[in-house]
Structure 1
Amino acid sequence: MALDELVPEDHLVRKIDQAIDFDFVYDLVKDHYSSDNGRPSVDPVVLIKMVLIQYLFGIRSMRQTIKEIETNVAYRWFIGYGFSEKIPHFSTFGKNYVRRFHDTDLFEQIFYRILREA
């Protein structure tokens, strides 16, 4: 059975996925990522979706959010991860925030855009 078949049509993450095209995130963060330097990073859209899951579903911490994503089929589907893919470690978000987004308004820009589109 495919992951997509397990996510109910009326689930909130499916509605968000239909309403919002998250590709705009790539343009906003492109100056903070290098395609030819170091190991590959976690997709910035995945990081944003993880924070969105945390906020929308009232999860207290990123550590708990990761645990929820690991076991929740709808959350996995929303971030684009299959059954067997390893979910990023909870510290990945914090490291990315400090290294790439600290002292910028990128998060505000991204979330205001999401609110407008929603």
Structure 2
Amino acid sequence: MMSKQFVNGRNQFTMLTKDELVPQNHLVRKIDAAIDFSLIYPIVELTYSTLGCPRNDLIILIKSVFIQYLFGIRSMRQAIKEVETNMAYRWFLGLGSMDHIPYFSTFGKNYVRRFAQTTIFEESFSYIL
């Protein structure tokens, strides 16, 4: 007898942490364990302004580029779309399920305005290597 699969599970309420959703052997866990990204803050602190409203965390921008290259995502625009739905990427970036993901224009403006005359990415990736 054929049974029908109902979509009732879509609205099911379950208590889980992000940590439980990311497999223990996922590449982002291995990278997070191997690299202390907090040591990149001294490299990027010169790009922070003391005026105005708080900016996006530059480590999220750097980690997003890292995700793009590691997982072979062709563009930053597509990488941002992947972060919207991939809990492992959100876990790696330290973002919650409801946290704001930087817009693509945020990346573009930071590359042009803040990173253009700097060696932030070179220094960050040299540290990582």
Gaps of 5+ in 1: none
Report the CA distance between 1:82 and its aligned residue: 0.4
Size of the aligned set, in residue pairs, is 114
**2:108 aligned partner:** 94
What is the distance in 1 between the residues matched to 2:52 and 2:113?
14
Gaps of 5+ in 2: 1-15
What is the distance in 1 between the residues matched to 2:82 and 2:53?
26
Once structures 1 and 2 are overlaid, which stretch shifts more, 75-84 or 94-103?
A: 94-103
**1:108 aligned partner:** 122
What is the distance in 1 between the residues matched to 2:40 and 2:103?
21
1:25–1:44 contact (8 Å) kept in structure 2: no
* TM-score, length of structure 1 as denominator length: 0.92
Report the CA distance between 1:45 and its aligned residue: 0.8
Q: Deviations over 1:41-62 (max 9, x none)?
A: 1101101100000000010111
Q: Which has the larger radius of gyration?
A: 2
The letter for the 2-side match of 1:96 is N
**1:42 aligned partner:** 56
Q: Deviations over 1:60-96 (max 9, x none)?
A: 1111000000000000000000011121101211111
Q: Deviations over 1:6-61 (max 9, x none)?
A: 10110000000000000121101111102x31121110110110000000001011
Once structures 1 and 2 are overlaid, which stretch shifts more, 25-34 or 9-18?
A: 25-34
Higher relative contact order (CA 8 A, sep 6+): 1
Identity across matched positions, percent: 63
What is the distance in 2 between the residues matched to 1:93 and 1:25?
18
The letter for the 2-side match of 1:73 is M
* TM-score, length of structure 2 as denominator length: 0.85
What is the distance in 2 between the residues matched to 1:27 and 1:42?
16
Give me the CA root mean square deviation.
Answer: 0.9
**1:69 aligned partner:** 83
What is the distance in 2 between the residues matched to 1:25 and 1:96?
17
